[in-house]
Amino acid sequence: MSLYDDRPELKTETEHTADESVNVSMVMEFPFRLLEWGIDAESNIVYLSDEITEHTLPELIQKFRTVLRFNDPDEGKKPINLLINCLGGDLISTLGIVDYINSLDRPVNTICRGGAMSAAAVILTCGTGKRFMSPNSTVMFHEGSMMEMGRVTDVKNSIKWSEVLLEKIYGLLADKTKEDADFWKKTLQADTYLTAEECIKSGVIDEII
């Protein structure tokens, strides 16, 4: 399947991204624009490169759905490839992305080319298919940071909730790697940078490509 195949324009069904800039008929009529939108339908690739914010999850869902529309049903449920070069971002949104990946009826391969930092490192590790990393890429784990202002009680509650989220992260990493939750709790206390070889050793990825 080529990005430049002649395909009929969809007349009746329209889906929008968070900023309503993409719809299915536009994608079918102008497939060369897919790369601008962070999609390579020919290779089943979705790109994650911007900071992870509250907008990232709905945008990724739209990208995944658009890629799936190009899949030939006769070819079966091919994996989706999530290509990551991202500095990280919001932890709540990250957990939402992990849940979405787990909800799909097909595997999601995660591929780090460049860097997978902070929250993006968690997404890389939690791929449901094969997890890959190019030889000169970098992965960085840490527990993150928060800048909370307001009433003392609200700040304390935010800290408690952050600790709950971090416990979820420790558990996810333990489930997906060769190390236990205590290892990850200790590792995430400071910025910890890992090479591709170190990621293989700890079970963060499955293969160097």
pLDDT of 126-155, one tens digit each? 999 999 999 999 999 998 765 556 677 766
Distances from the Cα of 186 to the Cαs of 26, 110, 180, 189, in angstroms?
48, 25, 10, 6
- What pLDDT does 75 receive? 79
User: Is 142 an annotated catalytic residue?
Assistant: yes
Residue 7 is predicted with a pLDDT of 33
pLDDT for the residue numbered 161:
75
pTM metric for this prediction: 0.80
- pLDDT the model gives residue 28: 46
Residues in the chain: 209
pLDDT tens track for 75-112: 788 999 999 999 999 999 999 999 999 999 999 999 99
DSSP string, 17-80: -TTS---HHHHHH-GGGGGGGTEEGGGTEEEE-S-B-TTHHHHHHHHHHHHHHTS-GGG--PPE
Residue 169: predicted pLDDT: 95
Q: What is the pLDDT of residues 72-85, one digit of tens each?
A: 777 788 999 999 99
Active site residue: 25, 142, 158, 162, which one? 142
Query: 118 catalytic, yes or no?
Result: yes
Rounded to the nearest angstrom, the gap between the alpha carbon of residue 208 and the centroid of all alpha carbons in its chain is 18
70: confidence class by pLDDT, cuts 50, 70, 90? confident
Tokens of 39: 């999609």
Whether the per-residue pLDDT at 116 is higher than 90: the answer is yes
Q: Residue 84 pairs with which residues in a beta bridge?
A: 48, 112
If you average pLDDT over residues 54-70, what whole number do you get? 92
pLDDT at 21 over 70: no
